[in-house]
Amino acid sequence: MRVPATSANLGPGFDALGLALTLYDDVVLRVAESGLLVDIAGEGADELRRDRRNLVVKAVNRMFAELGGQPRGLEVVCANRIPQARGLGSSAAAVVAGLYAARGVVVGGPERLDDDHLLRIAVELEGHPDNVAACLYGGLSLAWQDTTGPQHVALDVTAELEPVAFVPATRGSTSKARRMLPETVPHADAAHTAGRAALLVEAMARRPELLLPATEDRLHQSYRADAMPRSAKLVEKLRAAGIPAVMSGAGPTVLALTTQDNAEAAAGLAGTTFDVQRLGIDREGARVLPVDA
């Protein structure tokens, strides 16, 4: 099966907006006679665990527990292209992949447990809904939680958008980035960011010329800048050139929400410090593919 990378926040949409991108991890799950075999290629191959504490395996076992029963053995093969700990939703992708794959090998699994129920389990494992909703459903998602659990709405995205990701060699930590945020922010900053988040929905759907003001944020990016100074400087450089740029999730990847006309110009501003990837928007989300795909 295949799951897309995601970029959360998109500037002012803190902990709410997530965008699925055309960069993928593939996972193959097979029921075996006994034991556990985990094979990993690509991103994280030298460091990710190959036992029951692997995040994909945790999600697989969580889904089996939900549906009842546990196979005697499992083979999990991961081909990872999403960079680890860079703000591109690698952990959300692992969670969604494990849950989705395990549901698929259970007889009647998709009928017994729909995607909305799968989302609730994914949020339980991931801790917040923005990345997992975008990964599961594709496109642009607005996600939140209420007394009934996690919810999401699919939002329109213009076909003109061509995101560019600037991925540094250095890693980030979501938990560390959250600890850098203040307990309170000035009311004026909260009001400003709320207005920009509302504008961002319109800009993403129909008015890409408004993306530069729509991606202004005063809630989180400036407080995290000291932890990723090169990424913060690139965001400033791109925005000074008129290119809507934000920190992807908790960073340190920078995402430029460019149109097809200026994607090449944006890519040329990064220098040699970042791996520049021109991406599209994944509109399908998690899906099962033939094994030979």
Last residue of a domain, one of 155, 187, 211: 155
Residue 286 falls within a domain, yes or no?
no
- The number of folded domains in the chain is 2
Residue 56, amino acid: V
Separation of alpha carbons 198 and 194, rounded Å: 6
- Shared domain for 178 and 263, answered yes or no, is yes
Cis bond before residue 290 (omega within 30° of 0): no
- Domain shared by 138 and 176, yes or no: no
CA distance 262 to 20: 20
Residues 118 and 88 in one domain: yes
- 146 and 173 assigned to the same domain: no
- Kindly state whether residue 8 falls inside one of the protein's structural domains: yes
Which range of residues forms the domain containing residue 37?
2-155
Task: Clarify whether residues 184 and 218 are in a common domain.
Answer: yes
Q: What is the pTM of this model?
A: 0.95
Q: Are 20 and 123 contained in the same domain?
A: yes
C-alpha 14/C-alpha 8 separation (Å) is: 7
If DSSP codes are grouped into helix, strand and coil, which group holds residue 186?
coil
Amino acid at 25: D
Q: Which residue matches tokens 């008129």?
A: 242
List helix spans (H) across the chain.
55-67, 90-105, 109-112, 115-126, 130-137, 174-179, 187-205, 211-214, 221-224, 229-240, 263-267
Query: Are 38 and 144 found together in one domain?
Result: yes
**CATH, residue 130:** 3.30.230.10
**Could you tell me if residue 143 is inside a domain?**
yes
Radius of gyration of the CA atoms of the chain, in A: 19
Give the residues across from 165 on adjacent strands: 255, 277
Whole-angstrom Cα distance, residue 216 to residue 274? 22
DSSP H or E run through 154: strand 149-155
Dihedral (CA of 253, 254, 257, 259) sign: negative
Asked whether residue 287 is assigned to any structural domain, the reply reads: no
Measured distance CA(237)–CA(246) in Å, rounded: 11
Please, what's the b/e burial string for 118-146 (b: 16 or more CB within 10 A of its CB; e: otherwise)? Answer: bbbbbbebbebbbbbbbbbbbbbbbbeee
Q: Are residues 27 and 141 in the same domain?
A: yes
Last residue of a domain, one of 100, 123, 155: 155
Q: What is the pLDDT of residues 18-44, one digit of tens each?
A: 999 999 999 999 999 999 999 999 999
Q: Are residues 196 and 244 in the same domain?
A: yes
* List of the chain residues with pLDDT < 50: 293
Specify whether 64 is located in the same domain as 118: yes
Q: What is the CATH number of the domain that holds 268?
A: 3.30.70.890
**Are residues 190 and 144 both part of a single domain?**
no
